[in-house]
Amino acid sequence: MPHRDQEIIMLRRELEMLMGERQSLLRVVGATAALIASLDSKRLPLAAVESADLAATSINALPEETLQDALNAVSAEIEEEETDNGK
C-alpha cells in the first residue's frame, strides 16, 4: 500500500501543477482576448494585424466555456460591437 499512496501523492501534485498552469494560460488568453477586442485593425501595421488575426482565430476556436473562464480570470468582459444601420 505505501507504493500506492506515493502514486496518489504524485498524481495529486501533478494535477495541482496542471491546474496552476491552466489558470496561468486562462489569464494569458483572457488578457489577449480583451486586447484583441479593443484594437482598431485599421490603425495597426500589417504585421500586427496578421498577429492579431492569428490570436483572434485561436481564441475563437476555444469552447465558449473556456473563453468565459479566461475572461473571468482577468475580470474582463468583451462588449459586442454596435453596428450602425443608419438609424
- Whose grid coordinates read 474582463? 76
Amino acid letter at 63? P
CA distance 67 to 51: 19
Alpha carbons 4 and 11: distance in angstroms, whole number: 10
Cell numbers placing 11 = 498524481
pTM: 0.77
Distances (CA, A) of 17 to 12, 40, 67, 69: 9, 37, 21, 18
Q: Residue 87 and residue 37: Cα distance in Å, rounded? A: 24
Residue 2's pLDDT is 84
Tell me the Ramachandran region of residue 29: left when phi exceeds 0, alpha when psi lies from -120 to 50, beta otherwise: alpha
pLDDT tens series, the chain, 87 aa: 689 999 999 999 999 999 999 999 999 999 999 999 999 988 999 889 999 999 999 999 999 999 999 999 999 877 655 444 444
